[in-house]
Each structure stands twice: as structure tokens, then as C-alpha cells.
Structure 1
């Protein structure tokens, strides 16, 4: 018969064996585990140091390239837009710094700048389409007809574009008598603000996209509204470029991505997703010059871009009677 003392000795022996195993295992594994951790840490440190060095090198190269393009921009764009008036359109979230740099490049190209016209958040608010429709119906000329599929922003863009741009060089720098009260009414309604005298019509337009894609449940609709604006300006003038910065990752609220996904509008309206770079400003000028030749393209480094810059050609302005690009 196995007595209590035997049970006690057996239990003590079991726990003693476990304790010895743990001690031996820890002792045997301690040095290899620590060595492996040290080697891994050293490798990660070396990799991180190498990546930082690569990043510093790339930043230095980019800074040098930017400085070179900035210095050469006056020569690269000289005379490309002489005689053209360019309307600048700012949108909710667009960068004043990008606008000022683009304006400088356009001026160096010989263009006369009108605006900027700044669209407000109220203009893009899907809940405010009733206000847009009411103003359009009240202010549109009798001969202005919209397609049955036109959205509220399509209609508003058509009306505003008639007030801001013209394809006729002879009518540039003059107001459109058929849309005399349009801009002031939209301004009174809190849908836009203006600087300067943009009602003295331009021939070309640059719409500045927001720095970051719109977010929220209305983001895709807001991006589409800006595509409508760009498309309307293009049809009413000699050409339009939608310019901004590349969105990483691409998002539904990115107007440039929305434009490039629109097979119809992207055939007419150009886009540049590097407007925050000196090369991107040159691309804006070249894209407008390409628009004068009746062509469009998508340029930059983001999804849907076909090249960094348009092919360099001599501008041959479209006939003054031709509408759109």
C-alpha cells in the first residue's frame, strides 16, 4: 500500500525535476537568444541608417533639381502664353502657396492673370443644390440650354463659365452682357468670392484642387463637382487645367483622380498632379499651351498620369470661333 510519505516524495521529485529543467533550459537558451536579439537589432540599426542616408541623398537631389528648374522656368516658358488671359480658380482646401507659385510661372509665360475666383464650401455642399438650381434658373440667359443629364454643378459651371471665360480673343478682357448679374449673385449667396475683376473674361483657366482629398460621405460628390467646374470652363473657353498634388493613396475625394476616371471630361481637360513642384508649374504652362492646340493630357507622377510633362511644341491657338479644347 502506497502511503502518504511516498506521495509526498513523488510530488517533490516532480517539482524538483521541473525546476531543474527550467533552470537548465534558461541557461542553455539565454546566450543564443541574447546574441540573436543583438544581431537583429544591429542589422535593423544599419538598415535604418542606410535608409536615412538614401533619403537625405534623394532630398538633396530633389532640392538641386527644384533649384535648377526654378532658375530655368522663365526661359522654359517664355512667350508660351503671350496674349492669353488665365483665370485662376481656388477651391476649398487648395493651397495659397501653390496658387502664388503657379501664378508666377503663368506670368513668366506672358499670360495676364484674372481672379482668383474662390469657390466656397457652400458651393460644394450637396445639401445646397437647391440654392444652386434656383440661382441658375433665375440668372441663365434664355438661350442657355442644359443636357437632360446635367447635374446642379454642371448647370452652375456652365453659367459661371459664360461669365468668366470666352474662346473669342476679341471678347477677352470684356464682360459678358448676357451674364451681368451672375457673379455678384453667386457672391451674395456665399457660393464664391472674387479678387480683382474676373468678369473681364479670360481665355484659359486653371482650377486648383485641394491639397488633400475631400473626406466624409460627400467626398466623392464634392470631387465630382470640381470636375464639373473644370469641364464647364473648358467648354466655354480655350482650355482648362486642373492642377494640384498627388494623393497617396488615391481616394474617392480626389478631384484629379475623379477627372482622370471620367472618360469624357479627361479627353478635353488636362490635369497636373505636381503643382507643388517647380516642374509641375512648368507642366501647367505647357498643358495650357497644349490646350490651345486643341489637345489634352494627364501629367505628373500619380495614377493615371501619362507623362511628367506634355511634349514641347509650338503653340498654334485654336480659331477664335471654336469653343472648348
Structure 2
């Protein structure tokens, strides 16, 4: 019969064996585990340093390319838009820096800026469509007829298009008789603001897209409102280019992708998704020139772009061109 002391000795022996095993195992595995961790850390550090070096190289190349293109831009666009008067349109969330850079290149191309129209968030608010409808019904001329499928923003865009742009060269630089009332009403309603003399009608328009897509439950409606404005301005004048920067993924609130997804509108309104780059500003000029010749295109490097730029031609559009895009 096994007594209690035997059990006690057995239990102590078992725990002693476990302790010795743990100590021996830890000692034997410690050096290989530490060495593996050290090698892994070194490899990750080397990889990270390599990626940083590659990124620095790419940034250096991009800076060099941008500097070169910027220096060549005046010659690349010289005379391309001589005789054209251009309306600049800023949207909620658009970049002032991009707009200023675009405006500078348009000037280098020989264009005259008629003024700037800045839409407010209130204009894009779906809850405020009743106010917009009321203004449009009050201000539209009797001969302005809207399609039965026209949305609130479609109707507003047609009215604003008639106020800000024209495809008749004889009317360039002159106000539409109803322009003053239209601008005043929309400004008083907090829907837009103006700078310069946008009421003295332009021939072309450049709309600066928001830097980031709109978000939230109204994002798609907000983007659609700006698509309507771009299209309405395009139809009333000789052409419109919507310009902005590339968005990593297609989302409902991205205005440029919204235009590109509308097959009929994309046949009229051009888009450029590289406006934050010097090359993109040149592409905007070329796109406007293409609009003057009755064509449109989707340019850049993002989703839906058909090419980085329009086909380059040596022909300079005539400032007396009558047909719109």
C-alpha cells in the first residue's frame, strides 16, 4: 500500500521535472527566438528604408517634371484661348489654390476672366429645393421652357447659364437683361456669391470640383446638383470643363465621376482630374480649346478617364466660333 509520503514525493518530483523542463526549454529556445526577431526587424527596417528612398526619388522626379512643365506652360498654351471670356465656378469644398493656379494658366493662354461664381452649401441642400424652384419660377423669362424631366437644379442651371454665358460672340461681355435680377436673387437667398463681373457674359466656363467627394446621405444628390450646373452652363455657352483632383475610389459624392457616369452629359461636358498638377492645368486649356471645336472628353489618370489629354493639334480656335459644345 502506497502511503502519503510516497504521494508527496511523487508530486514534488513531477513539479521539479516541469520546472527543470521549462528552464531548459526557455534557455534552448531563447537565442534562436531572439535571433529570428532581430533578423525580422532588420529586414523590415531595410524594406522601410528602401521604400522611403523610392518615395523620395519619385517625389524628386515629380518635382522636376512639375518645374519643367510650369516653365514650359506659357509657350504650351500661348494664344490658345485668345478672344475667349471665361467664367470660373467654385463649388463647396473646392481648393482656392487650385482655382488660382488654373486662373493663372488661363491668363497665359490669352483668356479674359469674366468673374467668379461661388456656390454655397445651401444651394446643394436637397431640403432647399423649394426655395430654388420659387426663384426660378419667378425669374425665368416666358420663353424659357424646361423638359418635364428637369430637376430643380436642371432648371436653376438653365436660368444661371443664360445669365452667365453665351454662345453668341456678339453678346460676349454684355449682360443678359435679366442677369442683374437673377444674380441679386440668388445672392440674397444665400445660394451663391460672385466676384468680378460674371454678369457680363463669358463664352466658356471652368468649374473647380470639390477636393474630396461629398459624404453622407445627401452626397449623391449634392454631386448631381453640380453635374446639372456644369451641363446647364455648357449648353448655354460654348463649353464647360469640370476640373479637380483624382479620387482613389469611385463614390457617389465624387462630382467628376458623376459626370463621367452620365453618358449623355459626358458627351458635352469635359472633365480633367489632374487640375492639382501643372500638367493638368495645360490639359484644361486644351480641353477648352477642344470644346470650342464642338468636342468633349474625359481626361486625366483616374477612373473613367479616356486619355491623359486631348489630341494635341496646332490649330488655334477662332474667337468667332458660334456653335456650343
Distance 1:180 1:69 in 2: 41
Distance 1:321 1:62 in 2: 40
Superposed CA deviations along residues 194-233 of structure 1, whole A, max 9, x for unmatched, are: 0011010000000001111112211111111111110111
Distance 2:60 2:73 in 1: 20
Aligned to 1:190: 190
Superposed CA deviations along residues 29-69 of structure 1, whole A, max 9, x for unmatched, are: 11111111111111111111111111111111111111111
Distance 1:203 1:45 in 2: 57
* 1:141 partnered with 2:141: yes
1:19-168 aligned within 5 A: 19-168=19-168
Superposed CA deviations along residues 140-192 of structure 1, whole A, max 9, x for unmatched, are: 11111111111111111111011000011111101112444111110111100
Quote the offset at 1:320 in angstroms. Answer: 4.9
- 1:86–1:112 contact (8 Å) kept in structure 2: yes
* 1:299 partnered with 2:288: no
- 2:133–2:152 contact (8 Å) kept in structure 1: yes
Distance 2:250 2:29 in 1: 48
Aligned to 1:6: 6
Quote the offset at 1:282 in angstroms. Answer: 0.2
Distance 1:318 1:3 in 2: 115
Aligned to 2:241: 241
- 2:105–2:282 contact (8 Å) kept in structure 1: yes
SS at match of 1:235: helix
Distance 1:301 1:121 in 2: 28
Give the paired residue count. 324
SS at match of 1:207: strand
1:265-284 aligned within 5 A: 265-284=265-284
Aligned to 1:256: 256
Distance 2:283 2:101 in 1: 13
Aligned to 1:310: 310
Distance 2:302 2:117 in 1: 26
- 1:238–1:318 contact (8 Å) kept in structure 2: no
The two structures have a TM-score, normalised by structure 1, of 0.96
Quote the offset at 1:318 in angstroms. Answer: 9.2
Worse-matched range after superposition: 94-103 or 178-187: 178-187
Question: RMSD across aligned C-alpha pairs, in angstroms?
Answer: 1.4
- 1:172–1:200 contact (8 Å) kept in structure 2: yes
Aligned to 1:285: 285
- 2:80–2:317 contact (8 Å) kept in structure 1: no
SS at match of 1:83: coil
Worse-matched range after superposition: 263-272 or 12-21: 12-21
**Structure 1: gaps spanning 5 or more residues:** none
Quote the offset at 1:301 in angstroms. Answer: 1.4
Worse-matched range after superposition: 2-11 or 91-100: 2-11
Distance 2:24 2:250 in 1: 55
Worse-matched range after superposition: 167-176 or 17-26: 17-26
The two structures have a TM-score, normalised by structure 2, of 0.96
Distance 1:102 1:290 in 2: 17
**Structure 2: gaps spanning 5 or more residues:** none
SS at match of 2:308: coil
